[in-house]
Amino acid sequence: MAQFAVIGLGSFGATVALELTKSHHDVIGIDITKRHVESIAEKITHAAIADATDEHVLEELNIQNCDAVVVAIGEDIEASILCVLNLKNLGIDKIWVKAKTKAHHTILSHLNIDKIIHPEEDMGVRVAQALNYPMVSRYMYLEDDRYIINIPISPKLNGINLFGIMQSVPEVKALLIKRNQDVFYEIDNNFTLKTNDILILEGLLPYLKKISNSFI
Ligand code: ATP
């Protein structure tokens, strides 16, 4: 179990705090707005009304003992930057920060933090991809246009030989197939798909797009 802090409990920060709690981690949530703290106080380990631009306040809350801190202050860029500088002063190793604008991103990229998050953009890309490729149920971006995707197998493909499809785009790799509680990692040339199998593929986006059309 790790200890995390989430600073800024708007809809993004609150979601992060609740998800980490669901995964059984200790979560301290901080927000300057009483209403936002009260709405989550019962659901996470500790919630505090505090101004994260004040280093002493963060120190009193023992933020320096956290394994990682997520800064989810959006509109007030000055507060976000000051908060990051405070966390750096307190010696926090792992800092993830939500950036709302290009300027915010540029300043953060000079502060040597671990990750700059763009939730709206990330979600926008996901929604656009899902609309374009309805046969793909989930995406995970790796790097450099490389993705892992999930494809639920429709009844139309029941009994089809997977190797035949994969051969048409050899740049894509089939990582595994999930069938109910079973997972198949070794996929031989005779593997036959069944309705509701979940096929997990990895590859560059243009090749994944090409092969996805075989699963309509
Ligand atoms: P979201 O989309 O996550 O709802 P947002 O990107 O619109 O949020 P804001 O609402 O500006 O961003 O900020 C997120 C939260 O950060 C708010 O709940 C706000 O009260 C809180 N916040 C702003 N300044 C501070 C600060 N100095 N210290 C602590 N919390 C702060």
Q: Average pLDDT in the 192-215 region?
A: 91
Does 8 share its domain with 111? yes
27-57 burial by CB neighbour count: b if 16+ within 10 A, else e?
A: bbbbbbeeebbeebeeebeebbbbebbebeb
- The 10s digit of each residue's pLDDT in 31-87 is 999 999 999 999 999 999 999 999 999 999 999 999 999 999 989 999 999 999 999
Does 105 share its domain with 131? no
Question: Which residue among 95, 117, 139 closes a domain?
Answer: 117
> What is the CATH classification number for the domain harbouring 161?
3.30.70.1450
Q: Which residue has its alpha carbon closest to ligand 1 atom 19?
A: 8
pLDDT at 141 over 90: no
12 Cβ below 6 A of ligand 1? yes
Rounded Cα gap, residues 84 and 71, in angstroms? 7
Does 19 share its domain with 71? yes
> What is the CATH classification number for the domain harbouring 31?
3.40.50.720
Ligand 1 atom index nearest CA of 33: 20
Q: Which residue has its alpha carbon closest to ligand 1 atom 18?
A: 10
pLDDT at 134 over 80: no
72 Cβ below 6 A of ligand 1? yes
Does 104 share its domain with 178? no
Question: Which residue among 88, 117, 146 closes a domain?
Answer: 117
Mean pLDDT for the chain overall: 91
Q: Average pLDDT in the 181-191 region?
A: 91
Amino acid residing at 9: L
Domain that holds residue 69: 3-117
Burial label, 16 (beta-carbon count in 10 A; 0-12, 13-18, 19+): buried
- Residue 3 is predicted with a pLDDT of 94
- The 10s digit of each residue's pLDDT in 73-131 is 989 999 999 999 999 999 998 999 999 899 999 999 999 898 999 887 777 777 666 66
- Residue 215 is predicted with a pLDDT of 86
**How far does residue 131's CA lie from ligand 1's centre (Å)?**
30
Residue among 75, 80, 82, 104 whose CB has most ligand 1 atoms within 8 A, to mutate: 75
**Cβ atoms 108, 117 nearer than 8 A:** no
Burial label, 123 (beta-carbon count in 10 A; 0-12, 13-18, 19+): exposed
Q: How many domains does the chain have?
A: 2
Give start and end residues of each alpha helix (H) in 110-215. Answer: 119-132, 162-168, 205-212
Does 47 share its domain with 143? no
Does 132 share its domain with 197? yes
- Residue 128 is predicted with a pLDDT of 66
The three-state secondary structure class of 91 is coil
Rounded Cα gap, residues 153 and 62, in angstroms? 49
**How far does residue 32's CA lie from ligand 1's centre (Å)?**
8
Terminal-to-terminal C-alpha distance of the chain: 42
Q: Average pLDDT in the 192-207 region?
A: 93
How many CA atoms, within 13 angstroms, populate the side-chain half-sphere of residue 68?
15
Give backbone dihedrals phi and psi of 201, rounded to 5 degrees, phi first.
-115, 155
**Percent of the chain beyond pLDDT 70?**
96
DSSP 64: G
Rounded (5°) CA angle 71-74-76: 105
Question: Which residue among 67, 85, 117 closes a domain?
Answer: 117
Rounded (5°) CA angle 77-81-86: 145
Does 100 share its domain with 129? no
Does 26 share its domain with 108? yes
Burial label, 129 (beta-carbon count in 10 A; 0-12, 13-18, 19+): middle
